[in-house]
Amino acid sequence: MTAVKDWKKEFALKEQLTQGDFEALEMALLDMPRIVALMRNADMSVAHGAYLRAAIQAGWITAPECKTLVGETTKERAFFYDGKNVDDLHPTHVRWLGQRVVDTHDSIMNEDPKNL
């Protein structure tokens, strides 16, 4: 049980997300090979994976280290979270991480706007 809590503690998103950050996330989602990512069904692994990959590509995750690699000839992308390919992570990890991205997105979009 402690190991699960440790990896969750490491996860951090940018504290001050801007319109540019939101557009980068949404453009990354639209760029995903499966537009199913836009379906917000909490039980769909493809949606959580897409949100996690989009957050990596858009630079939303500040810890642990994440990166996107693009094949020179194929232009295929691989997304790495803490040195591990997202495709190789356990589905419950991806679900938890992807849901944090969705929750942050929705929380900010539902805030009462403050003065500029």
pLDDT tens series, the chain, 116 aa: 455 567 788 899 999 999 999 999 999 988 876 555 456 555 678 888 999 999 999 999 999 999 999 999 998 899 999 999 999 999 999 999 999 999 999 999 998 887 76
Q: SS in 3 state form for the chain?
A: CHHHHHHHHHCEECCCCCHHHHHHHHHHHHCCCCHHHHCCCCCCHHHHHHHHHHHHHHCCEEECCEEEEECCCCCCEEEEECCEEHHHCCHHHHHHHHHHHHHHHHHHHCCCCCCC
